[in-house]
């Protein structure tokens, strides 16, 4: 059993819940809650429908170091379930034991996120999975060698042939399997979700006040909207960085310079440090950054406006953000075939 089986009730073709920004300053909690209702199904592509066997195969590949050139790291090396599917360091570390240029983004709830990566350079999870596997500074894998290695393992050979008739082990089938598993990586129910579903005792008065601030004066919901708390857009939030972000992919609009994908906010208590470069150590620092409005420059997002909180309000907002962490989280590591 693993997470995909626990989430079996989600399995269906669905576009998921629409992402909508919350109205600023509203006091109507019922209206606000309706904007954060969790979807009831995971959206899977029509050409790659869910099956527990396929997700299990993908999970084995996600944790298998034999996909890396030196057989020394796997996808979970940077997307560790114990750390909210991130890594607890400022910058990710590749197979050469050297730091990469960005913090590892979470793989939580990626079935509802596109495009992928901090700069949005991948259009799908299948395309995203190929990037780190083959990047020389990351896993440094070569698909010709990976296919040869997997083909020599009877269990892998059997399951690929069974799940992909007449296709077997190939670049495409490896990526489909990994992406299918990644779509099942969904954050568990949190106190906030229980409160949204009508349990009035699930959140404290402080957490509810923080929710009001999140949607009101602090305007966090201007970018962190919907049940997954992201608008799936790119914003320059005024961080000190030389990284041009989205502008490296889409050079035209000025707003793309230093702009990065809005991350979802689920399971934040496991995911420090924060930001695309891991430059903020904790949630307290994140709140202080947004209060300051960040560095003023032409590309800075219009959503970045300085505001001021009292110590009590800051504590309320922090309490709310912590209430987005799942109450139960369990991801057993799979047994890998020999």
Give Cα separations from 304 to 8, 156, 225, 229, 275 (angstroms).
39, 49, 15, 17, 15
Residues 123 and 209 in one domain: no
What integer best gives the mean pLDDT of the chain?
A: 92
197, 162: one domain = no
Tell me the C-alpha distance between 283 and 275, whole Å.
11
Q: Is residue 83 part of a domain?
A: yes
The domain in which residue 264 lies consists of: 20-38+189-322
CATH number at 64 reads: 1.10.760.10
Over residues 35-48, mean pLDDT:
95
pLDDT (average), residues 287-295: 97
Helix, strand, coil % in the chain, rounded to nearest 5 = 40, 5, 55
Residues 197 and 295 in one domain: yes
Give the separation between CA 227 and CA 96, rounded to whole angstroms: 37
Higher pLDDT, 28 or 214: 214
* Confidence band of 27 (pLDDT split at 50, 70, 90): low
Q: Does residue 10 surpass a pLDDT of 90? A: no
At 99, is the secondary structure helix, strand, or coil?
strand
Q: pLDDT tens digit string along 292-327?
A: 999 999 999 999 999 999 999 999 999 999 999 999
- Greatest CA span in the chain, whole angstroms? 64
Distances (CA, A) of 210 to 68, 152, 199, 262: 43, 54, 17, 20
Same domain, 233 and 290: yes
């Amino acid at each position: 059993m693993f997470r995909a089986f626990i989430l079996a009730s989600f399995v269906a073709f669905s576009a998921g819940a629409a992402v909508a920004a919350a109205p600023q300053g509203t006091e109507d909690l019922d209206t606000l809650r309706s904007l954060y209702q969790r979807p009831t199904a995971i959206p899977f592509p029509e050409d790659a429908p869910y099956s527990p066997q396929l997700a299990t195969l993908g999970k084995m590949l996600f944790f298998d170091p034999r996909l890396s050139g030196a057989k020394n790291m796997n996808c979970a090396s940077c997307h560790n379930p114990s750390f909210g599917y991130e890594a607890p360091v400022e910058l990710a570390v590749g197979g050469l034991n050297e730091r990469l240029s960005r913090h590892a983004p979470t793989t939580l709830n990626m079935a509802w996120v596109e495009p992928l990566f901090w700069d949005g350079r991948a259009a799908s999870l299948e395309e995203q999975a190929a990037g780190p596997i083959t990047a020389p500074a990351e896993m440094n894998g070569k698909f010709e060698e990976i296919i040869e290695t997997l083909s020599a393992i009877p269990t892998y050979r059997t399951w690929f042939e069974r799940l992909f008739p007449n296709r077997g082990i190939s670049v495409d089938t490896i990526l489909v399997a990994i992406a299918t598993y990644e779509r099942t990586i969904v954050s568990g129910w949190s106190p906030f979700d229980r409160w949204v579903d009508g349990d009035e005792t699930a959140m404290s008065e402080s957490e509810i006040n923080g929710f009001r601030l999140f949607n009101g004066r602090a305007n966090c919901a201007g970018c962190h909207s919907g049940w997954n708390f992201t608008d799936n857009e790119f914003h320059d939030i005024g961080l000190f960085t030389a990284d041009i972000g989205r502008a490296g992919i889409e050079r035209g609009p000025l707003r793309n310079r230093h702009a990065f994908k809005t991350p979802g906010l689920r399971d934040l208590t496991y995911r420090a440090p924060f930001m695309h470069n891991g430059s903020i150590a904790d949630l307290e620092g994140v709140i202080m950054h947004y209060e300051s409005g960040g560095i003023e420059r032409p590309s800075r997002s219009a959503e970045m406006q300085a505001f001021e909180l009292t110590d009590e309000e800051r504590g309320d907002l922090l309490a709310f953000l912590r209430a987005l962490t799942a109450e139960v989280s369990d991801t057993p590591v799979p047994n890998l075939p020999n």
